[in-house]
Structure 1
Amino acid sequence: MKLRHRRLALAAGVLAVLGVIAALVVNAMRSNLVFFYTPTQVVAHEAPQGRSFRVGGLVEPGSLSREGLAVRFVVSDGAQRLPVRYQGALPDLFKEGKGVVVQGRLDGVDFLAREVLAKHDENYMPPEAAAALKAGGHAP
Structure 2
Amino acid sequence: MNKLFVTLVAAFILFGALLTYQASKQGTSEVFTPSELVAKEHDLTRIRVAGRVSSRPISYQVEPEIRLEFTIQTPGKEEGFTPVVYSKLKPDMFAPGRDVIIDGDFKGGILYAHQMLTQCPSKYQPPKPGAAPGEGALDTPSTPL
TM-score, normalization by structure 2 = 0.63
Q: Which amino acid aligns with 2:101?
A: V
| 8 Å contact from structure 1 (residues 41, 47) kept in 2 | no
Indicate yes or no: 2:48 matched with 1:54: yes
Q: Deviations over 1:4-51 (max 9, x none)?
A: xx88xx8798567534532331222112223321112222339972x2
Indicate yes or no: 2:73 matched with 1:76: yes
Structure 1: state its 5+ residue gaps: 1-5, 125-140
**The 10-residue stretch of structure 1 (25-34 or 83-92) with the greater mean CA deviation from structure 2:** 25-34
> Between the two proteins, what is the percent identity of the paired residues?
25
Aligned-partner Cα distance in 1 for 2:57–2:100: 14
Aligned-partner Cα distance in 1 for 2:117–2:42: 19
What is aligned with 1:118? 118
The number of residues matched between the two structures is 117
| 8 Å contact from structure 1 (residues 90, 116) kept in 2 | no
What is aligned with 2:37? 42
Aligned-partner Cα distance in 2 for 1:16–1:84: 45
Q: Deviations over 1:76-135 (max 9, x none)?
A: 0024111001122211111012211122111321111122211114279xxxxxxxxxxx
What is aligned with 1:64? 58
Give the 3 Å change call, closer, same or farther, for CA 98–121 of structure 1 in structure 2: closer
Give the 3 Å change call, closer, same or farther, for CA 16–103 of structure 1 in structure 2: same
What is aligned with 2:88? 88
Q: RMSD between aligned alpha carbons?
A: 3.0
Bigger radius of gyration among the two = 2
**The 10-residue stretch of structure 1 (101-110 or 27-36) with the greater mean CA deviation from structure 2:** 27-36
Aligned-partner Cα distance in 1 for 2:37–2:114: 17
Q: Which amino acid aligns with 2:28?
A: L
| 8 Å contact from structure 2 (residues 34, 51) kept in 1 | yes
Q: Which runs of 4+ in 1 moved over 4 A?
A: 10-17
